[in-house]
Amino acid sequence: MTKVCVVTGASSGIGEETVRQFCLQGFRVFMGARRLDRIRKLAEETGATGLPLDVSDTSSVRSFVRELPDTVHVLVNNAGGAQGLEPVTEMAEEDWLSMYQSNVLGTARMIREVFPRLSRSQEGSHVVNVGSIAAIETYLGGAGYTGAKHALRALTDTLRLEWMGLPIRVTEVDPGLVETEFSIVRFSGDTRRAAKVYEGMEPLVAKDVADAIVWSVTRPPHVNIDQLVIRPRDQARADKVHRRGENRRIQDEGSGKVL
């Protein structure tokens, strides 16, 4: 029987590449995102099924899940992101609320709604939450995002406890600097500012993270990869990045991001 994989946030970056990799593995993939033009194009390329999905909207999540098969084997919660890089005393409340909605509540909504389908799998099933090194570290200006990703980490750990004894595996994948659209979104479309995040170093690419997700899912059924932390060789901490042409590790604006 062909296994079913569901991927959120599939319109770009890690989500897009994860769709490709699971299709190559022979999974039947259902993907969701807000940017329908992009997932339609990806559907044409890969054969995956693309559906509209906004994880911050409960009705959208429920509409998406109604279109899924009765049994789901893998759920990859990738939707999320960061906004801004201001200190706590200058926080933009709407940005913080948006980050919590997408990174935490959106993930919880997906898990709640897909759980009955995960439970029907005779072979066992697997939930992968795409986190960030922001789930285990903090950095200047990152309180809103690190707070959301720390909450996602708590959610993932709690699932492991709540699902003990069930044939459902739970994994969190926490990347460091990955060159995707992440920083462009974080800096509200400022491509020059976003480019500086990766300047002078070799970041991860989306396929690096997608490969790790697929690897965790394709371990033997009794093996649970609780957490994978993946950084570029040039990054030792969120704000410690080696830049070419420099003889020291530096902290610079935006180097804390991750994913």
* Catalytic residue positions, numbered: 145
In this structure, are residues 230 and 177 in contact, taking their beta carbons and an 8 Å threshold?
Answer: no
Per the rule left: phi > 0, alpha: psi between -120 and 50, beta: everything else, 80 is left
Give Cβ neighbours of residue 141 (< 8 Å, ≥ 6 apart): 84, 85, 86, 87, 253, 256
Q: How many CA atoms lie within 13 A of 209 on its CB side?
A: 35
Phi and psi angles of residue 84, each rounded to the nearest 5 degrees, phi first? 75, 170
